C-alpha cells in the first residue's frame, strides 16, 4: 500500500520502518526528526498526496488538529486517516468529523507497548471508527502490532487508552509505595514479589514491569530507570484522563491522586526523562508526614 507517515519520533520511526520492511511504500514527514531508512517529503501535504492510508503519531491534540488542517484537503478521496497519537477524546472526534466531512475515513488508534513494542511490531492498537475503515487499515496494524481491539465509534480508541493508563498509573504508584513500605518493614524484596505476584495484589505493574531492580522479569528498573515509558508521558495520559472525567462528570479520585504524584515527580523533582516506574526510588527517599 502507499502510506504517508506524519510524526517520526521515538515511536513513529520504528513503526514506519516495520511497514517498509513489510513491502509498503512509505513517505514520511516530521518537523524535526530525520530518521534513516525513510523517504522524507518536503511537507506534510506532499507526503499524503496519493496515499491510501495516512498515519499520524503526534504529541498532543492541538498539534493533531493543526496537522489535520494541512493534510485533510491534500488527501485523496476515500483515503483513511489513521491517527495513532494519544490525545484528548474531543480532538480525536473533531478530526474524525473533519475527515469524514471531506469524504475520507478516519480511525483513532492509540497504542500500548512503548518503544520496545514499536520496534518489535508487537503494539496493541485500541481503535475507534467505522469497521470499513478498520478493514482497510488492518493489514498495516497487523505489521505494526500484535493485537488490535475495535472499541467502537470515533474517540473510543482514545477513551480506552486513557482508562487503561489511568489504571496503570494508579497501580504503579501503589506498587512503588508497597515496595518502599516493605523496605522500611525489613521485608525482602524478592519475598515481597513472590507473595504479591501470585496473590490478590498482582498486577501488570508488579508481575511484568516490576519497579524493583533485579526482581521479576527484566524491566527499565534494571537499566537505571531509562524510559521504556517516560514519567512525563504517564503525566500526560493521567491529565487526559482527568480532562475526560471532568467533561463526563465522572468521579476518579484514584486517577486524580496518581496525577498529583506524577505531576510532583515530573515538574517538581527529578522525574523528567526517567521511566514512570522510577516512582520507587522516589518513595524510598520520602518519609511519612
Q: Rounded to whole angstroms, how far apart are CA atoms 11 and 144?
A: 11
**E strand or H helix at 34, and its extent?**
none
Residue 203 φ then ψ, to 5°: -160, 170
**DSSP designation for 268:** I
Q: Rounded to whole angstroms, how far apart are CA atoms 251 and 66?
A: 31
For the chain, the first-to-last Cα distance in angstroms comes to: 59
Instruction: Print the SS3 string covering 119-181.
Output: HHCCEEEEEEECHHHHHHHHHHHHHHEEEEEEEECCCHHHHHHHHHHHHHHHHHHHHHHHHHH
Task: Give catalytic residue positions.
Answer: 161
Closest CA to 210 of 182, 233, 232, 185: 182
> Which 3 state secondary structure label does DSSP give 114?
helix
> Which residues lie below 8 Å from residue 203, measured CB to CB, with a gap of 6+?
171, 175
Beta-strand pair 53-56/2-6: parallel
Q: Which residues pair with 152 in a beta bridge?
A: 128
Amino acid at each position: 500500500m502507499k502510506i504517508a507517515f506524519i510524526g517520526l519520533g521515538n515511536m513513529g520511526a520504528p513503526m514506519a520502518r516495520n511497514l517498509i520492511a513489510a513491502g509498503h511504500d512509505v513517505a514520511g514527514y516530521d518537523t524535526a526528526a530525520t530518521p534513516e531508512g525513510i523517504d522524507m517529503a518536503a511537507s506534510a501535504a506532499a507526503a499524503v498526496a496519493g496515499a491510501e492510508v495516512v498515519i499520524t503519531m503526534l504529541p498532543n491534540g492541538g498539534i493533531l488538529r493543526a496537522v489535520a488542517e494541512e493534510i485533510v484537503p491534500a488527501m485523496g478521496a476515500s483515503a483513511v486517516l489513521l491517527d495513532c497519537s494519544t490525545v484528548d477524546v474531543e480532538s480525536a472526534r473533531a478530526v474524525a468529523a473533519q475527515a469524514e466531512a471531506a469524504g475520507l475515513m478516519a480511525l483513532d488508534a492509540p497504542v500500548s507497548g512503548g518503544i520496545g513494542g514499536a520496534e518489535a511490531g508487537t503494539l496493541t492498537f485500541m481503535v475507534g471508527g467505522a469497521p470499513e475503515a478498520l478493514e482497510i487499515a488492518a493489514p498495516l496494524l497487523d505489521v505494526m502490532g500484535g493485537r488490535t481491539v475495535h472499541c467502537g465509534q470515533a474517540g473510543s480508541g482514545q477513551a480506552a487508552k486513557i482508562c487503561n493508563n489511568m489504571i496503570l498509573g494508579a497501580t504503579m504508584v501503589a506498587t512503588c509505595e508497597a515496595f518502599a513500605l516493605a523496605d522500611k518493614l525489613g521485608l525482602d524484596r524478592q519475598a515481597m514479589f513472590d507473595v504479591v505476584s501470585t496473590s490478590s495484589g498482582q498486577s501488570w505493574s508488579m508481575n511484568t514491569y516490576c519497579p524493583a531492580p533485579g526482581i521479576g522479569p527484566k524491566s527499565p528498573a534494571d537499566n537505571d530507570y531509562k524510559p521504556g515509558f517516560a514519567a512525563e508521558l504517564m503525566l500526560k495520559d493521567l491529565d487526559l484522563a482527568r480532562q475526560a472525567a471532568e467533561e463526563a462528570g465522572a468521579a476518579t479520585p484514584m486517577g486524580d491522586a496518581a496525577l498529583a504524584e506524577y505531576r510532583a515527580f515530573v515538574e517538581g523533582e527529578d522525574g523528567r526523562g526517567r521511566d514512570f516506574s522510577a516512582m520507587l526510588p522516589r518513595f524510598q527517599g520520602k518519609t511519612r508526614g
